Structure 1
Amino acid sequence: MKIEACSDEWLLTFGTGGYASSTFCGYNARTYHGLLIAPTNPPHRRFLLLSKIEESLIYGDEIPFGTNRYVPDVTHPKGYEYIQSFTWGRNYVSWRYSVEGVTVAKEIVACQGVDCVIVRYSAEKGRLKLCPLVGYRSHHDVMRRGQYYFETSFREKEILVLRDGTPHLRVSYSNGRPYTSGYWYYNFQYDVDRILGNHYVEDLFNPFCIEAEGSVELVFYPKRPGYAERAESPRDEISLLREATKAFVVKGKEGYAIMAGYHWFDEWGRDTFISMEGLLLLDGGFERAKSIFRRYLPYCNEGLLPNHITPGGEPFYLGVDVTLWAVNALYKYFLKSKDKDFVREVLRAVEDCLWHYVRGTRVLYWKDGLLYHSGAPRTWMDASFDGTVVTPREGAAVEVNALLYNALMAFNDMRESLGEEPVEEFSSRAGRLKSAFAEAFTAPWGLYDYISPEGVPDRSVRPNMIFAYSLPFPVGPEEMVNVVRNTVEAELLRPYGLSTLSRRDPKYRPTWRGPRAERDLAYHNGVIWPWLLGAYVDFVLRYFREEALELLHYLYPLIETVKSRNGFLPELFEDVPPYRPAGAFAQAWSVAEVYRALRALLGAV
């Protein structure tokens, strides 16, 4: 096998926020790659504990069959040349090697509900030599020699690795002879991080090795062990996506949380509520959804729910749409669960949040019947670097007004379903907003993206207009449906999602590459976001339901991507063939919204 053919990534998750991930070849290409990355404050502050295992077959000579990349651009050893097959299952990855004619098998199995990984080897001849490489640092960073002092303690069938005198990693083993090694390995090169302008050179420590004949099982864990047998992945795309949704719903110290993405994203409010229907509600995860609502709603501050809750429990506020996405998720929860008791429990808190939108705050204000916001970035298009906001959109954003109209209408619908009178001011405000919306946002090509504080409409052709027609209560003028559809299909729709900006716009950037500034300039200015397909499919099924089968066929390349990545979808795709995946390897709202969209399309054909 050539190294180019096995440089794709794999991911296994533990249900805690922790994970294992690397490449098919077995070399680490990011700081985020490692066999055991665990949260120190679950599900937050994820730290690398075990990077990889140096692997050799002793059969006459000692023959290494692993693969590493070292500075400067050196590949050693070249164990990928021995790979005969690679399999990525539901909770495991496995390899079969032919090492100088000797068959060697290896599998890595992820435990669930505990930070623990099981590594199993077998060799038909000879003896295996396995040398773990450990580290201790944030998964965003690198480690260099001398940051910590590691030592090893051996017990019966268990090895304890200490870091500066405190327990770092425990290893139980089935058989074999362990012994202290105590070597530093220098200058690992992480190729993806190098391209992205991140820290990319790391040193790792080898505290011990173990030699075993036949087969051996190693269980690595920081606190308590787990156990798991390998489980196979389903074959169809819907089942693959359903399985992938489980990776993002994790159990932390404060209850359930939704991780926005792997590898680097933590828990984010906007992503949580956009993803909730696909990750939880479609398959009856109502108790977990309730746990998340109960955790977030007490944080409402002047109407806003937090973008982020820090590992220390401090809320961070920025987005003006997070609360509105939460109301939409609660409405979807109500429609699917029929749970009046829970909705009655939380509806007062939701009402208190919405009153701030209706009455205005320091951030939110009304002008000519529309909701404006001050400051930027406060929408989902929130890229910024070095004090530069790439897509500021300060003023009246089209999707924020669509979400507010939807939230006010959904709130009153839930009240009436509970036998309560609707809030009259919410109804009247929604009515005035709908009238003003049609007058202010209607453009020759569909809808303006936002209106500046000075009342000047932004003429960028972006996908945000689709939310005026996709939400349960659409605010967009009916007469513009065909115009919006024609524009979106002609300028934004791709087989992998919706592009974030028309190719005719001078700000358009189709690729997500290079250092951070270059990537952020492209982030919402042309690259494709798969999560937007959820709204687009809702739009099509509401107004053009007879075209569901045609759209399903159009999305065939995306469906093939689902199959090739074990159900995981990336944050982005570049907007030039071959539509290279970009951004985070696995993104919650990409998986959730594509899963929801494909189920809806299949239900309509």
Structure 2
Amino acid sequence: MARVKLTPTDWKDLEGGLEREWLLTNGLGGWASASIFGANTRRYHGLLVAAEKIPTERTTLLSKINEELVINDVVYPLDVNEWSNEVAEPRGDQYLKQFIQNYWSVEFHYEVGNYRLVKMVWMANGYNATYIRYRLEGAEQGDKLELRLHPLITRKNYHDEARANLEMRWYCDILENNAGFKYYRKEPGLPLQIRFENEKGWSVTQTGYWLYNFHHRAELERGLDHLEDLFEPQVYVVELKPGKSAGLVASLGEAPEEDFEVSLKNQQHRMLGIQSFSKLDEFGKCLAAAGDQFIVARPSVEQVLKPGGKDRTIIAGYHWFTDWGRDTMIALPGLTLSGGRFGEASAILRTFTAYLSEGMLPNRFPDKEEKLEYNTVDATLWFFQAIYDYYQATTDSKLVSDLYPNLEEIIQWHLRGTRYSIRVDPDDGLLHAGEPGTQLTWMDVKIGDLIVTPRHGKPVSINALWCNALGIMNYFRRELNLKTTQTYDTLYDKTRRSFLGKFWNKEGGYLFDVIESEDASAPNINSLKRDSSIRPNQLFAISLPFSPYANLETEELVNQAKSIINVCERELLTPYGLRTLNRNDPRYKTRFTGNQVQRDVAYHNGTVWSWLMGAFVEAHLRVFKDKKAARNYLLQFQSCLKEGGIGTINEVFDAEPPHRPLGCIAQAWSVSEIMRLWRLVNE
């Protein structure tokens, strides 16, 4: 079942193919990924990037395989490599005639002479193992046909570029029955194992070469080290016959025992077995398959779940993110609830509850053995929304009852004050957050000691979420008749009145981004520092179920809500999401490009984020009640499945046309919000 099909008319030239990337994941935090031409255009690419400590500590083991089809002793290279002089050699792209992203695998269709060679790649879910299978198509013509494979191996942290070390030896053991090889160094860690699908017919030649200065164009564009050396231990050769297959599996340690056909069918059955998958339309299925890539295992802490339970988390984005509290809570409804994956949603909520500290969820799980980072004010508030959405989808009162005391504890911590000056102002009930040197909202870029978008004070999105959390507490108390330490009606009403009275920018017809701002650059209005930047954060004041504008009981509130949406549409909306700042602002950046500092400055100052379409479309639906119009806002995302990350949605896009897809090639909340909205507008 094809998810996305590409032909030369889609990629047009070498540049077009190198800019398109595929991704497969294994449910453990690991992946296989490259450009569609086989060239590794970034340091994170590899055919086997394994999570050595699930779901983190990713290690690249098999970087790529240089492939050659040999017909009557004439060699036809099928892959592409870029070198330090930015020259591509060989040019196997001329033979690629079709690329297919299936729901559980990727396919490459090469045409050489009268033959078609089909390569299929998939990963075994729950294993650090990548399968690669080749099948020759065409009539028997008496030609001598061979496939030569040059595996290029390494053992590096996925954030690094590997460099040759001539003093470091690779060791090789032959597997039983000559079924393959184990490659390892004299250091801790399981070996890379490469096992042939059928050990008969393969011949092996020892090489032991270093190949120097592979060029990673994406890293050069980011202003980072962009050269890598890889080691070729051997060359594998197998004779091909039309209609026959030959393959290998690369794994960290032992590979799964099942044969190739069984493994492939297991991946098919797993995807087709996801609840409601078969009922989705084609775009819905594409989103569901893309969303599945982010749901991974995370071992429990303090036995939150029963021993042997399947604890789950959500990877924020591929290739370089781990699991983040904010991203997980925002992405959970779309990735799990929209697809009927209620058990996994429950597991994620319970898993994250174990990490609550001083009324806060962690911002980020580090890769290594480091302390959890709690520098976020909104992850915890999105936790309330995720639980509410879960209950709306499942009516699971037990989970809500179990977690309600945790929610009450969170409220109490916020009332009396917790880390980073996060505290409720007793005068108006609004939530203050921020102190020098910290970045707490989703606009969280920090360059050295500089916070690019500090938003210290009372941010509009944070107070919309705070008001929403209080409303959710009221809802659960009444819905489930729960005993509580206090009622939340008074707190909710006070917060809502203060919000409506203080955030409305009457002159501009929209909401201030931050009030009582501690940012010296914020304009001084009415003796209060109010940041009048036009940003998309204001939309959460309408889109959330218990937000300040959720109950439009007066004509004045209706008109304000319409004005907010219209300003955001006029100033911020693009086909792929919302700009993070309006064009007339002197800080506005048109392109997310340049070195790391330049990109960081642009990240939240114009750059388009797809996940923000969730707040915009939901707010539009709530106010204008036009489902057809809401659906039309999402249609352009169908075309972007052929750009950037194939079959998925990138993290960000350039602020100006043609809105080039950038950042992570697959971002959890980008996919989840479009997935959630697509179901909403098609119900």
Same fold (TM over 0.5): yes
1:428-443 alignment to 2 at 5 Å? 428-443=490-505
Give the AA of the match of 2:264: A
Give the AA of the match of 1:263: H
1:218-229 alignment to 2 at 5 Å? 218-226=248-256, 227-229=263-265
Give the AA of the match of 1:151: Y
1:195 to 2:214 alignment: no
Residue 315 of structure 1 aligns to a residue whose secondary structure is coil
Identity across aligned pairs (percent)? Answer: 34
* Matching residue of 2:387: 330
> Is the Cα contact below 8 Å between 1:412 and 1:422 reproduced in 2?
no
Q: What is the CA deviation profile of residues 11-55 of structure 1, one whole-angstrom value per residue up to 9, with x for unaligned ones?
A: 111111111110111111000111000111010011101011111
- Out of 519-528 and 77-86, give the one that drifted further: 77-86
Select the residue among 397, 407, 415 that pairs with 1:340: 397
Select the residue among 262, 282, 289 that pairs with 1:236: 282
Select the residue among 70, 75, 81 that pairs with 1:62: 75
Q: What is the CA deviation profile of residues 474-513 of structure 1, one whole-angstrom value per residue up to 9, with x for unaligned ones?
A: 2135441121122111111111111111111111112110
> Is the Cα contact below 8 Å between 1:240 and 1:566 reproduced in 2?
no
Determine the C-alpha separation between the residues in 1 that align with 2:646 and 2:229. Answer: 31
Determine the C-alpha separation between the residues in 2 that align with 1:249 and 1:275. Answer: 10
1:204 to 2:253 alignment: no
Determine the C-alpha separation between the residues in 1 that align with 2:662 and 2:66. Answer: 29
- Out of 80-89 and 568-577, give the one that drifted further: 80-89
Determine the C-alpha separation between the residues in 2 that align with 1:22 and 1:566. Answer: 11
Q: How far apart are residue 271 of structure 1 and its match? A: 0.1
> Is the Cα contact below 8 Å between 2:447 and 2:600 reproduced in 1?
yes
> Is the Cα contact below 8 Å between 1:28 and 1:34 reproduced in 2?
yes
Q: How many residues align?
A: 602
* Matching residue of 1:177: 203
Determine the C-alpha separation between the residues in 2 that align with 1:98 and 1:299. Answer: 53
Q: How far apart are residue 151 of structure 1 and its match? A: 2.1
1:417-456 alignment to 2 at 5 Å? 417-421=479-483, 424-444=486-506, 445-453=509-517, 455-456=528-529
* Matching residue of 1:373: 433
1:153 to 2:173 alignment: yes
Q: How far apart are residue 423 of structure 1 and its match? A: 5.2
Decide whether aligned partners of structure 1 residues 516 and 165 sit closer, same or farther in structure 2, where only a CA change above 3 A counts. Answer: closer
Determine the C-alpha separation between the residues in 2 that align with 1:562 and 1:105. Answer: 22
Select the residue among 138, 158, 161 that pairs with 2:157: 138
Q: What is the CA deviation profile of residues 319-347 of structure 1, one whole-angstrom value per residue up to 9, with x for unaligned ones?
A: 11111000110111111111111111111
- Out of 439-448 and 231-240, give the one that drifted further: 231-240
* Matching residue of 1:571: 651
Select the residue among 19, 25, 34 that pairs with 2:46: 34
1:87-106 alignment to 2 at 5 Å? 87-106=100-119
* Matching residue of 1:469: 542
> Is the Cα contact below 8 Å between 1:306 and 1:315 reproduced in 2?
yes
> Is the Cα contact below 8 Å between 2:338 and 2:679 reproduced in 1?
no
* Matching residue of 1:108: 121
Q: What is the CA deviation profile of residues 291-324 of structure 1, one whole-angstrom value per residue up to 9, with x for unaligned ones?
A: 2222222322222111013353732110111110
> Is the Cα contact below 8 Å between 1:416 and 1:422 reproduced in 2?
no
Q: What is the CA deviation profile of residues 130-189 of structure 1, one whole-angstrom value per residue up to 9, with x for unaligned ones?
A: 110011111111110117421222232121112226642111111311232211111100
Determine the C-alpha separation between the residues in 2 that align with 1:411 and 1:224. Answer: 49
* Matching residue of 2:308: none
Determine the C-alpha separation between the residues in 2 that align with 1:187 and 1:466. Answer: 47
1:3 to 2:37 alignment: no
> Is the Cα contact below 8 Å between 1:151 and 1:207 reproduced in 2?
no
Q: How far apart are residue 569 of structure 1 and its match? A: 0.4
Q: What is the CA deviation profile of residues 503-529 of structure 1, one whole-angstrom value per residue up to 9, with x for unaligned ones?
A: 111111121101111101111111111
Gaps of 5+ in 1: none
Determine the C-alpha separation between the residues in 2 that align with 1:165 and 1:328. Answer: 46
Select the residue among 633, 639, 642 that pairs with 1:560: 639
* Matching residue of 2:25: 13
Q: How far apart are residue 286 of structure 1 and its match? A: 2.1
> Is the Cα contact below 8 Å between 1:57 and 1:127 reproduced in 2?
yes
> Is the Cα contact below 8 Å between 2:322 and 2:365 reproduced in 1?
no
- Out of 420-429 and 492-501, give the one that drifted further: 420-429
Determine the C-alpha separation between the residues in 1 that align with 2:87 and 2:610. Answer: 36
* Matching residue of 2:578: 498
Determine the C-alpha separation between the residues in 2 that align with 1:434 and 1:273. Answer: 23
Residue 46 of structure 1 aligns to a residue whose secondary structure is strand
Higher strand share: 1
> Is the Cα contact below 8 Å between 1:240 and 1:563 reproduced in 2?
no
1:312 to 2:364 alignment: no
- Out of 490-499 and 118-127, give the one that drifted further: 118-127
Residue 264 of structure 2 aligns to a residue whose secondary structure is coil
**With structure 1 as the length reference, what TM-score do the two structures score?**
0.95
Decide whether aligned partners of structure 1 residues 359 and 165 sit closer, same or farther in structure 2, where only a CA change above 3 A counts. Answer: closer
Give the AA of the match of 2:445: A
Give the AA of the match of 1:218: L
* Matching residue of 1:388: 450
Residue 309 of structure 1 aligns to a residue whose secondary structure is coil
* Matching residue of 1:216: 246
Q: What is the CA deviation profile of residues 92-112 of structure 1, one whole-angstrom value per residue up to 9, with x for unaligned ones?
A: 222222335543332212221
> Is the Cα contact below 8 Å between 1:412 and 1:423 reproduced in 2?
no
Q: How far apart are residue 537 of structure 1 and its match? A: 1.6
Give the AA of the match of 1:265: F
* Matching residue of 2:462: 400
Decide whether aligned partners of structure 1 residues 314 and 295 sit closer, same or farther in structure 2, where only a CA change above 3 A counts. Answer: farther
1:53 to 2:99 alignment: no
1:550 to 2:629 alignment: yes
> Is the Cα contact below 8 Å between 2:62 and 2:152 reproduced in 1?
yes
> Is the Cα contact below 8 Å between 2:313 and 2:351 reproduced in 1?
no
Decide whether aligned partners of structure 1 residues 135 and 388 sit closer, same or farther in structure 2, where only a CA change above 3 A counts. Answer: same
Residue 299 of structure 1 aligns to a residue whose secondary structure is coil
- Out of 510-519 and 356-365, give the one that drifted further: 356-365
Give the AA of the match of 2:158: H
* Matching residue of 2:131: 118
* Matching residue of 1:268: 324
Residue 113 of structure 1 aligns to a residue whose secondary structure is coil
Residue 193 of structure 2 aligns to a residue whose secondary structure is strand
Give the AA of the match of 2:539: I
Determine the C-alpha separation between the residues in 1 that align with 2:633 and 2:162. Answer: 45
